[in-house]
Structure 1
Amino acid sequence: MTRTVRLGVILSLSFLLAPKVYIEFQTDPEKAQVFVALIFKEILLGLLLGVLMWLPVRSLELAGVLIDTQRGSTQAMGMDVIFGVQTMPTAQLLLQLFSGFFFAVGGTKIIATVLFSSAEIWPLAETLPDLQIGAAPIFINLAGVLIFSAVSFVLPISFFMVLTDIVIAYIARSAPTLSALTFGMPIKSAVAAILLIFYLDVAFPRLVEMFMDATNHLEDVLSYER
């Protein structure tokens, strides 16, 4: 998505919130005096939403990196044209497949729902929320979502690749002349590819649910009560 298209999407979603902003400032004119502070507050909220929406995608990329590391292709790097980052082949494949799947199942609607829900959870004319020390475990939990999601995604595939390593090592020890270790990477790549065909049907919907849970996480952080 080019910068011009991204700007158009952002402006389109922002225009839908303009009437709500106008009504809130009309009902409470004093809020207009801190308009600049509210702009910085919205920037902070945008960063928080960006992190919440970034976690599923980043966990998928990390899962692809773990798969490539285990199959022995850590030196293969490529440019992902969708996300504009340099990553490994399996991670790039997973990101591109998930991008198509996400928008095919209504990803634009999910993003718009999260954006509009944030205006209800943290009203546009409100200042900083009353964050308390008890909300700290929520932030810690969000920090662990990335690693946990990546490991849970790659664990079944990693298990079968370990079994493949054991079988190849046994063959190499039983028949050294076959040079079975040289076939380790191709065989593990084939195992990973076959498993991904069946596994993505289960994993991708779970990642979409993580996007939908972004609103709940935001509400937990901003609406925490001791």
Structure 2
Amino acid sequence: MSLAQLLQWNLSLFILILCRWAGMIMLAPVFAARGVPSMVRLGLAASITVILYPLIQATNPPIPLELLPYVAVVVKEIMVGLVIGFLIYSLTAILQGAGQLIDFQMGFTMGAAIDPVYGVQSPMMGNFQIILATMLMLATNSHHYLIAAMVKSYAYIPINPSNLPANYLFYAELIGHVFALAVQLAMPIFGALLVSDVGVGLLTRTVPQLNIFSVIFPVKIVFGFVILFLSLPFFGESVAKLFDTNMSWVLELYQGWKQ
């Protein structure tokens, strides 16, 4: 191999590693927050690429030198990063779903705010849970585990993978798990507010002269915040279990992709 070909191979490998990390950072929690500038994300992906480059280079992965095959490999690497990032993003989707259920029961549905993390319209309780979960992840260095999980992907999905994930049943089950966990996370507050609805209904039957609409909304809001305050000590443990579950999904994806 001539010097020109050697330089081309090394540059091509660097770009492929960068593409996978850029795809993951575009979607993963913490890294994909709207408050993180695009140049910072790109710099983070490039920095990690520089660190991992000698390790990946030692495996001597096959890289095509022709233009069209190389573009196809670049697309596959970006897809690998996006799939992993999307799977990690499901943790945020669970928190948003739980917040949507809580907002619906508390009467905050019409007051959906702009998500400060991803810049889209989302429930207020979902915003609160996402911000709190992000702070917990940063405080406990959980984002390091996201990076470690991404590094582990090269052991299961090498550069230029021969196949793409085709097990659609896994993604269908993933969506079901996201909905189920969102309901479980919201159920303490959702169930308590449902009981308050029943209590206000019985009160209305007892005192027909009472205007239910002037009573139920303040009661539900105050009662919802009280239950939310009481459940805060258990929120960290819930986020930890969700994070462990999310990492198990990532490992399951790697093992299924390798087969």
Fold-level similarity (TM above 0.5): yes
Corresponding residue for residue 175 of structure 2: 143
Alignment of 1:1-226 (within 5 A): 1-25=36-60, 31-33=64-66, 34-128=69-163, 135-197=167-229, 198=231, 199-224=234-259
- Number of matched residues? 219
How far is the alpha carbon of 1:202 from its aligned partner? 3.3
- Give CA deviations for 1:162-210 in whole Å, capped at 9, x if unaligned: 1110001111111133434422222222333233332413322122213
- Which of the pair has the greater relative contact order for Cα pairs under 8 Å at 6+ separation? 1
TM-score between the two structures when normalised by the length of structure 2: 0.76
Deviates more, 1:175-184 or 1:2-11: 175-184
Report the Cα distance in structure 1 between the residues aligned to 2:194 and 2:91, rounded to whole angstroms.
25
8 Å CA contact 2:94, 2:181 repeated in 1? yes
Report the Cα distance in structure 1 between the residues aligned to 2:42 and 2:226, rounded to whole angstroms.
39
> Residues 124 and 70 (structure 1 numbering): CA distance in 2 closer, same or farther, change over 3 Å?
same
> Residues 186 and 13 (structure 1 numbering): CA distance in 2 closer, same or farther, change over 3 Å?
farther
How far is the alpha carbon of 1:30 from its aligned partner? 6.1
How far is the alpha carbon of 1:31 from its aligned partner? 4.5
8 Å CA contact 1:71, 1:189 repeated in 2? yes
Which amino acid in the other structure matches residue 14 of structure 1?
A: T
> Residues 112 and 29 (structure 1 numbering): CA distance in 2 closer, same or farther, change over 3 Å?
closer
SS in 1 for 2:209: helix
Calculate percent identity across the aligned residue pairs.
23
Which amino acid in the other structure matches residue 50 of structure 1?
A: G
Report the Cα distance in structure 1 between the residues aligned to 2:225 and 2:190, rounded to whole angstroms.
12
Q: CA RMSD in A?
A: 2.2
Report the Cα distance in structure 1 between the residues aligned to 2:40 and 2:218, rounded to whole angstroms.
40
5+ residue gaps, structure 2, are 1-35
5+ residue gaps, structure 1, are none
